[in-house]
Amino acid sequence: MSTGPMSTVRDATFEVLRRTGMTTIFSNPGSTEVPLLAGMPDDLEFILALHEGSVVGMATGWAIAHGEPAVALLHTTAGLGNAVSAIATARANRAPVVVVVGQQDRRHLALEPFLAGRLHGLAGDYPVWTEQPVRAQDVPGAIARARHEAVTGRGPALVIVPMDDWSAEWDGTVEAAPTAVVRPAAVGDRDLAPLASLITEADAPALVVGAGADSAEAWAGLVALADRLGCPVWQESFGARAGFPQDHPRFAGFLPADRSGLRGALTGHDLVLVVGAAAFRQYPYESGPLVETGTRIAVVSDDPAEVHRSPAVLAVLADPAAACARLADMLPERPAAPQALRTASPPPPARSDGPLRAAHVLHELAVRLPPEAIVVEETPSSRPDLHRLLPARRPLGFVSAAMGGLGFALPAAVGLRMALPYRPVVGVVGDGSAIYGIQALWSAAHYGVGALFVVLANGRYAVMDRLAEKNGAGKAPWPAFTEVSLSAMARSFGCPAIRLDSHGDLLATLDEVVPTLASRTEPLLLDIAVMPDAEFRP
């Protein structure tokens, strides 16, 4: 609802934010943003973060939680430059974020005054859309369009606004953007007929799922399809979200990220249907084919880029939930197949003394966390153990940085918990990773965000150490950083923290804290001393 007459571009922009539901603004502002923010109306909420990576990371978590765009407001070159990695992560994580970037006064930009930024292109190709309006009066329409572009393009859309534009007179200019965009998701039988025929012809199909299938509707459709086909379901490697219930009997595990491992996992299947992901995500380069000769690949995704880069015999650009639900009804039922496709990993032995390892911590979390908990992961050396011990049991149960850059988990966990205060949120982070996004703890403490941050502190970049050893080029030149205290850093930002280094203290603390996660209004960081993992398995 309008708070008064619209006399300036700023007023008209506030109306756009209200109309589109983008009433929470994440920011670390500078002088070029003050004309927008000073005296901001009370019905808009401002959330301060102490670093631009945290700004975009929190907005990304918020957008993932709601499935609707969040607003990140950045300060000219320094702000946008600091946030580029987070913007890249938002793009890879399919998070619709509207990024508004301040710019120097339009009237003397030609002279490149202090704080003038060469902003167009600074974030590279990671924004799905970038615009600096030609006139001040085009700013409200550009922000409205950015919202549509962020949703359609499944990523960050960027608008550059010179600081004097906000006070420019609003002349009632027609916004160059529709008020609403309808995106039909239905999939007709005729559209799916070629894919249904391909599946029917296969003797031994398999499913591979990705982050684009992380919704209650997609999970239901995929469970019905997997049961109809009697086939295993694999999760894409390095996926940002879970595309299938990982405690389901047909869940077969995570695909290896190398070609020989991928071929081994999918051997015996003459058709692999990839849903909500591209075919296939890899990490180390390895020569050879992705799949064995005779194995055909099909893809269903609503992301055109995923569809277009997949080496598939057939790709369907469609909503995964609608496509899978309809396929499950269209396909003939196959003979019953055994469902025990993966043997559950035994829990690590309980320890009463001796050093902790990451697997011990993750096991104790697993036996206590409720199914609806959201686990935000950024612990590269321990990720295989996390996948093994902490399966995603509900949609949005697992969130990670699809881009692979560090600094995502802490701010994303804050944004997720702010958006979904009724769901327990646990960030499981290595200490090396946590340092990249540590400023987000201040926002968590200041705004009463009851997330739990579990830091697996081994005092080093353990994954890099293992990779250096695997490379066989001699000892890595970087030192450990065992003198860094994450609990002390957390407390300096106002976030309560506990240092744990024994199994008994870990159990007692988790027993006390985990039952409170759904109702907490205060963050807590557990700084847990762990031994480096013996190996890294990508």
pLDDT of residue 312: 92
**Domain range for 91:** 9-167
- Do residues 17 and 158 both lie within one domain? yes
- Do residues 55 and 105 both lie within one domain? yes
How much is the average pLDDT of 148-160? 95
Looking at 310, 330, 350, which one is the last position of a domain? Answer: 330
User: Could you report the per-residue pLDDT of 247-302, keeping only the tens digit for each?
Assistant: 999 999 999 989 999 999 999 999 999 999 998 888 888 888 898 999 999 999 99
DSSP annotation string for 30-57: -GGGHHHHTT--TTSEEEE-SSHHHHHH
* Pairing, β 233-235 against β 296-301: unpaired
pLDDT band at 538 (very low <50, low <70, confident <90, very high): very low
pLDDT at 346 over 60: no
Regarding predicted confidence, which is higher, 459 or 39?
39
Query: In this structure, is residue 350 part of a structural domain?
Result: no
pLDDT at 337 over 70: no
Percentage of residues in the chain having pLDDT higher than 90: 78
CATH of the domain at 390: 3.40.50.970
pLDDT at 533 over 80: no
pLDDT of residue 480: 79
User: Could you report the per-residue pLDDT of 72-103, keeping only the tens digit for each?
Assistant: 999 999 999 999 999 999 999 999 999 999 99
How much is the average pLDDT of 227-249? 94
CATH of the domain at 248: 3.40.50.1220
**DSSP β-bridge partners for residue 502:** none
Give the Cα separation of 85 and 122 in Å (integer): 11
- Do residues 382 and 523 both lie within one domain? yes
Handedness of CA 168, 169, 170, 175 (dihedral sign): negative
- Do residues 326 and 371 both lie within one domain? no
User: Could you report the per-residue pLDDT of 507-519, keeping only the tens digit for each?
Assistant: 999 999 999 999 9
User: Could you report the per-residue pLDDT of 40-76, keeping only the tens digit for each?
Assistant: 999 999 999 999 999 999 999 999 999 999 999 999 9
Tell me, rounded to whole angstroms, the distance of Cα 76 from its chain centroid.
Answer: 25
Query: In this structure, is residue 343 part of a structural domain?
Result: no
- Diameter over CA atoms, the chain: 74
pLDDT band at 475 (very low <50, low <70, confident <90, very high): confident
pLDDT of residue 7: 92
Looking at 165-174, 212-221, 508-517, which range is the least confident one?
165-174
- Do residues 378 and 525 both lie within one domain? yes
- Do residues 274 and 141 both lie within one domain? no
pLDDT of residue 381: 86
pLDDT at 206 over 60: yes
CB 271 within 8 A of CB 202: yes
Query: In this structure, is residue 162 part of a structural domain?
Result: yes
pLDDT at 1 over 60: no
Nearest of 69, 70, 64 to residue 45 by alpha carbon: 70
CB 454 within 8 A of CB 426: yes
CB 490 within 8 A of CB 457: no
- Do residues 304 and 200 both lie within one domain? yes
**Average pLDDT in the chain:** 91
Query: In this structure, is residue 319 part of a structural domain?
Result: yes
pLDDT at 339 over 50: yes
Nearest of 116, 79, 125 to residue 99 by alpha carbon: 79
Regarding predicted confidence, which is higher, 316 or 6?
316
- Do residues 304 and 440 both lie within one domain? no
Tell me, rounded to whole angstroms, the distance of Cα 373 from its chain centroid.
Answer: 16
Looking at 286, 314, 330, which one is the last position of a domain? Answer: 330
User: Could you report the per-residue pLDDT of 19-40, keeping only the tens digit for each?
Assistant: 999 999 999 999 999 999 999 9
User: Could you report the per-residue pLDDT of 390-440, keeping only the tens digit for each?
Assistant: 999 999 999 999 888 899 999 999 999 999 999 999 999 999 999 999 999
Terminal CA-to-CA distance of the chain, rounded, Å?
51
User: Could you report the per-residue pLDDT of 303-321, keeping only the tens digit for each?
Assistant: 998 999 999 999 999 999 9
CB 256 within 8 A of CB 265: yes
pLDDT of residue 340: 44
Q: At what angle do helices 503-513 and 358-366 cross, to 10 degrees?
A: 30
Looking at 314, 330, 346, which one is the last position of a domain? Answer: 330
Query: In this structure, is residue 349 part of a structural domain?
Result: no
For residue 2, report the phi and psi dihedrals to the nearest 5 degrees: -65, 145
pLDDT at 366 over 70: yes
pLDDT band at 360 (very low <50, low <70, confident <90, very high): very high
- Do residues 407 and 318 both lie within one domain? no
- Do residues 396 and 461 both lie within one domain? yes
CB 437 within 8 A of CB 408: yes
- Do residues 198 and 316 both lie within one domain? yes
pLDDT at 149 over 50: yes
Domains held by the chain: number = 3
- Do residues 490 and 392 both lie within one domain? yes
Query: In this structure, is residue 335 part of a structural domain?
Result: no
Q: Whole-structure pTM over 0.75, yes or no?
A: yes
Query: In this structure, is residue 477 part of a structural domain?
Result: yes
Sheet strand arrangement including 296-301: 251-254, 233-235, 205-209, 271-275, 296-301, 314-317
Query: In this structure, is residue 174 part of a structural domain?
Result: no
